[in-house]
Every structure is written in C-alpha cells, then in structure tokens.
C-alpha cells in the first residue's frame, strides 16, 4: 500500500481480526458505515484504525468501500447511531439489513456515497434520543461473543461501548481502556448508568464491565446479556448462586 486511505464497512457487520487471516482472533466488529483508515496491506487483508475509538486490527479488503476525502470528512462528523433493531437498505450490491448501533449515514430516504445510490426500503432510522437503560435492556439475552457488538453476539465492553455510543458518548473498545475514562465513583454513591468494572482474581487486571441499572443491579454480557446483583464483592449470579466477577471500581461518564 503506497499511502493510507479512508473506507467504510460496506456490509451489515464484519469481523476485525488480530492478524491478517480468517482464523485469527476476532477482536471487534465493524457495522455498516463505520469509518476506518487503512494503513497497510498484506494480500487481500488491510490493517485499519477505526475512526471512533482508534482501535487497530485487520479486515478483508473486499468487505470495505473505499471513499474519497470529502465523503470521509462528512462521515467523520456523524454522531447519530441507529436505534432501530434492524432496517432494510437497498445497496448497489443488493438489499441488506442494517443493525442497531450502526452510524446513521443519512436520515433521507435516498442518499449516495461515492456516487453509489442507497435507499432505505421501508423505514428511515429513528431520530429520537433513547434512554440509556432502555437501550441497554434491548440487548437482553443477546449471546456472548468475544469481539461482538450486535444483538446477534456481543461481549461485555462491546455492550457498554455500543449502548453509550447510541446516546452520544464515545467510549474506548476494551474494559481496560474504559476504566481510564470518566469519573471515579465511591462504592455506595453509584447510580443508574454508571459502569462497574471487575478484575481478575489472579492477575488483578480489568477483565469485565457492565452497566448499573440501579444501586445494586447490573446488566452485563456473561454467557448472554443478563441482569445480576451487584455488591461490594462483585457480581452475584442469582440463578447459579455464586459470584461470577470480583469488584474493582465504578466510573461515571454522564
């Protein structure tokens, strides 16, 4: 690759991998319209930097749409993310579903990117602001998926990042990064919407995060997106009657 260029995810959702091959670990996902900078390439793989959180990884070049500087500047200004569960979009390569959490590239019925025509089939993206807790609960029972960011599979920090993004707040991708953002909150003074972080019992590293629904309930991705009890020890799984995660701290971002 002679020089870096801008591109967007052209499909519903695509994997971002740790190395340039299909068997490498999926570290995160791109949703339709997510803006990236392509910085290097190996065969059909390109190394990217994701615009909204500066996360790095590798994607299959065929799953991206290269865009010009003017388009990239416009998309970089997008601050609205889809609230609808799914929407149908007609694209030059066929009809495809667009998932909640995707950047809203246009609220118009028809729009274009790089002179390519797109059209929302039935409904355009919702424009109302959604309550953070309502948004979080909409992911209930989504299966846990390492690196996932959708209702079809999501991990703990993917849940917190995506939900916060949908109300206009940008968080980093990993729990270990999110814990360095926001304001530290003393245990006992937490409120709904705060994030609670949890640490490994062996390494002490931050390994888990969830969203507080109230002072002692948390929604998080563990096996599936679920609601459990929170206390000074950590997350108590009432179904299985054990502590699944060890408490570390609470942070506030709103």
The per-residue pLDDT for range 208-228, each reduced to its tens digit, is 999 999 999 999 999 999 999
Say what the pLDDT of residue 127 is. 65
User: Do both 112 and 157 map to the same domain?
Assistant: no
User: Do both 241 and 182 map to the same domain?
Assistant: yes
Contact 228, 242 (CB under 8 A): no
User: Do both 106 and 173 map to the same domain?
Assistant: no
User: Do both 116 and 175 map to the same domain?
Assistant: no
Q: Is the pTM above the cut of 0.85?
A: yes
Neighbours of 251 (CB within 10 A): 19
CA atoms within 13 A on the CB side of 112: 6
Say what the pLDDT of residue 1 is. 66
Q: What is the largest CA-CA distance in the chain?
A: 57
Neighbours of 86 (CB within 10 A): 15
Neighbours of 58 (CB within 10 A): 21
Give CA torsion, residues 26, 63, 87, 104, to 10 deg.
90
User: Do both 34 and 112 map to the same domain?
Assistant: yes
Report d(CA 64, CA 50) in Å as an integer: 12
CA atoms within 13 A on the CB side of 145: 16
User: Which residue from 150, 157, 147 is spatially nearest to 18, judged by alpha carbons?
Assistant: 147
Say what the pLDDT of residue 129 is. 66
End-to-end CA distance of the chain: 41
User: Which residue from 95, 100, 63 is spatially nearest to 80, judged by alpha carbons?
Assistant: 100
Q: Does residue 125 lie in a domain region? A: no
199 phi and psi, to 5 degrees?
Answer: -120, 155
Given a cut of 90, is residue 128 above it in pLDDT?
A: no
User: Do both 109 and 44 map to the same domain?
Assistant: yes
CA atoms within 13 A on the CB side of 162: 31
Confidence of residue 126 (pLDDT cuts 50, 70, 90): confident
Report d(CA 22, CA 176) in Å as an integer: 26
DSSP string, 56-80: EEEEEGGGEEEE-HHHHHHHHT---
pLDDT tens track for 28-37? 999 999 999 9
User: Do both 90 and 199 map to the same domain?
Assistant: no
Q: Does residue 126 lie in a domain region? A: no
Domain count, the chain: 2
Mean pLDDT of 201-214: 96
DSSP state of 141: T
Neighbours of 231 (CB within 10 A): 12
Contact 130, 166 (CB under 8 A): yes
Sign of CA dihedral 140, 141, 146, 151: negative
pLDDT tens track for 40-76? 999 999 999 999 999 999 999 999 999 999 999 999 9
CATH classification at residue 48: 2.30.30.40
Q: Which residue segment(s) compose the domain that 137 sits in?
A: 132-252
């Amino acid at each position: 690759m002679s020089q870096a260029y801008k591109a967007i995810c052209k499909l519903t959702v695509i994997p971002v991998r740790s190395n340039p091959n299909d068997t490498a670990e999926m570290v995160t996902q791109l949703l339709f319209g997510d803006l990236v900078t392509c910085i290097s390439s190996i065969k059909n793989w390109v190394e990217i930097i994701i615009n909204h959180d500066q996360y790095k990884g590798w994607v299959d070049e065929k799953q991206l749409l290269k865009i010009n500087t003017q388009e990239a500047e416009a998309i970089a200004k997008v601050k609205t993310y889809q609230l609808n569960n799914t929407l149908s979009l007609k694209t030059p390569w066929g009809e495809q579903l667009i998932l909640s959490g995707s950047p809203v590239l246009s609220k118009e019925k028809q729009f274009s990117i790089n002179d390519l025509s797109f059209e929302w089939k039935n409904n355009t993206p919702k424009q109302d602001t959604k309550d953070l807790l309502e948004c979080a609960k909409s992911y209930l029972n989504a299966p846990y998926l390492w690196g996932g960011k959708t209702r079809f599979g999501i991990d703990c920090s993917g849940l917190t990042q995506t939900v916060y993004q949908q109300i206009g707040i940008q968080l980093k991708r990993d729990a270990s990064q999110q814990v360095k953002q926001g304001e530290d909150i003393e245990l006992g003074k937490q409120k709904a919407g705060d994030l609670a972080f949890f640490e490994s019992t062996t390494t002490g590293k931050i390994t888990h995060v969830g969203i507080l629904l109230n002072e002692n309930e948390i929604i998080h991705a563990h096996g599936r997106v679920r609601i459990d009890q929170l206390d000074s020890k950590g997350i108590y799984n009432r179904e299985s009657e054990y502590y699944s995660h060890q408490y570390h701290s609470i942070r506030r971002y709103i």
